[in-house]
Structures are given as C-alpha cells and as structure tokens.
Chain A
C-alpha cells in the first residue's frame, strides 16, 4: 500500500509540475460556462449588431435552465473527451518509450500498482476538473437563467463522470497495450467515437451502453428524474472499467520492457 501511495503521489506531483492541475480545470470551466454565457448574451448581441429591418421581431424563446445546463455538459463529451484522451495517452506508453518505465520496473514494483496508480492519478484530475467546470456552469446558469436543483446537478455529474472514466480507462488500456502514445490516443478516440455513435443510433437496443450515460444525464436535467436505464448503464460502466484495468495490467505484464 505504501508503495502504491508513493507511485500515486508521484503522479499527483508530476501533474503539478506540468501544470495539469491548473490548465485542465480552467479549460473545463471555460468550456462549460461558455454555454450559459453565450446563450444568454447571443440574442442581445444579435439585436444590437444584427441590423435587422425596422419592425422585425426576433423572438427566440429563452431556453430552459435544464437545457442550457445539458448543452454545457455536452461540451465535455466532445472537447472534454479530446482533452482527456490527448493528455493521458502517454501516461504509460510514453514512459515505456522513453525507457523510464524500465528504470522503475526493475525495482520490486508491482505491475498492478504501477498501472493503477497512473489510472488513479488521471481519474482524480478528471473528476476534479469536471466538478469544478460543471459546478461553475451550474452557477452561471442559475445566475443567468434559473436554478437547477442541486441534487439533479450532482446526479448528472456522477453519470457524466462515470462516462469520462470509461473513456479514461480505454485510454489507459491502449496506452499500456501499445508502444506509441499517438497511436494509443488515436485508437482511444476512434473507439470512443464509434461507441458513442452506435449507442446513439441504436439507443433502443443499447440501453445499457456506457455511452448512453451522457444522454441519461441530459435526460435527467430536462425531466428532473433519473432515466430508467441509468442504473444498469452505470453498473455496466463500472464493470467495463474494472475489466479494462485488469486487461491493461495483464497486457503490460506480458510485454517486454526493453524494445
């Protein structure tokens, strides 16, 4: 356990030294908050710069607070996912490529600890950033539109966090299975995209797909209650995460450290 903590602390420290603890949360804040801010000010901007003919009335009904919050959240499933994948794709592949993994793993370090500590470090960063970013979005939506119940906010936060954790685990998996960070990132993104598209297109068949968690989160925000399949989808996500981690360790162990 103390060895795991040493490895974990190193991950946390590294993310301080390369400013991940600053830039990822800030990016998540800006991504999310841009949604309520622009949908609030956009009609006004159009009105004052639009040069619309006299008498033309733009009547865009103001969106509901739930819809604004949901579209803020959806930023995280596109740009958020991109940032998560690109910033974690090298977490294991990069260390193995540079050779530092061999330096560390000729010491009596458990492979399980090595892989999971890296996963856990990234996990903490993702959940922290998502929380800060989404909380700000919730606050700005409340200020500019209407307040969404905090419990709805929390539940949708957890659903989204779970999906992003699946994405993170996929990235960690390819990072430990492949030697090139770029390739790991590319395949992770492609896989995430394919899963999302399929789950969206076949939503009535793939109700338990982890990718559905994003639509369940927005469903929760608009309807105010937890969608029916949110629970099984969450449980399946957790199982998928565990399986991916186990496979990561298994594959990583089998590979030779020196290429």
Chain B
C-alpha cells in the first residue's frame, strides 16, 4: 500500500504512546476514585472505546472534583 509506506511511523509512534498513557492514567484514576458523575462502568466503556476523547471526557466531566 502506497499510503502505509508514505507514513512516517517514527513521527506518529510517540502520539500513540502518549495516547496510551492517557488511557492508562484515566483508568487508574477511575479505579481509585470513590464516586463518578454517572455510573462507573459507563466511564470504563467511554474511556476504552471513545478514542482520545474518552479519557479527556472522563477527566473533565466524569471525575467528581470536590
């Protein structure tokens, strides 16, 4: 495939890595936190299945900041 060859993986790899970090950190935080806005299980799904936006949504809306 021409498209795949044209991609500079060295440049994109770091982005995938920090995205993964974001995913892991949000899951760690979710497991530690006592209460979320809305059911916890829902947030697990959002974080895992909504690419990039999921973890950010969790931190901004789902996390209950006192």
Nearest Cβ on chain A to B36's Cβ, whole angstroms:
13
Q: Check: B21 CB closer than 8 A to any chain A CB.
A: yes
Contact A48 B56 (CB under 8 A): no
Give the A-B contact count at a CB cut-off of 8 A: 64
Chain B contact-residue range equals 20 to 34
B65–A48 CB distance below 8 A: no
The prevalent SS among residues of A at the interface is helix
> Would B3 and A45 count as touching, CB distance under 8 A?
yes
Residue of A nearest to B63 (CB): A18
Query: Cβ of A22 and Cβ of B19 under 8 Å apart?
Result: no
Q: Which residues of B contact A37 (CB under 8 A)?
A: 12, 15
Chain A residue at minimum C-beta to C-beta distance from B60: A86
Chain B residues within 8 Å of A140, by CB: 11
The CA-CA distance from A48 to B3 in the complex, in Å, is: 7
A22 touches B21 (CB 8 A): yes
Instruction: Indicate if B22 sits at the interface (CB-CB under 8 A).
Output: yes
CB A146 to nearest CB in B, in angstroms, measures 15
A interface footprint on B27-63 (CB within 8 Å = 1, 0 otherwise): 0110000000000000000000000100110011101
Given contacts A23-B55, A30-B52, 14 further A-B contacts (CB under 8 A): A19-B28, A23-B22, A26-B19, A37-B15, A41-B6, A41-B7, A44-B6, A45-B3, A48-B2, A87-B65, A90-B65, A90-B66, A140-B11, A143-B11
Q: Can you report 7 A-B residue pairs in the complex whose CB atoms are below 8 A from each other? A: A20-B59, A26-B22, A44-B6, A45-B3, A47-B3, A94-B66, A144-B8
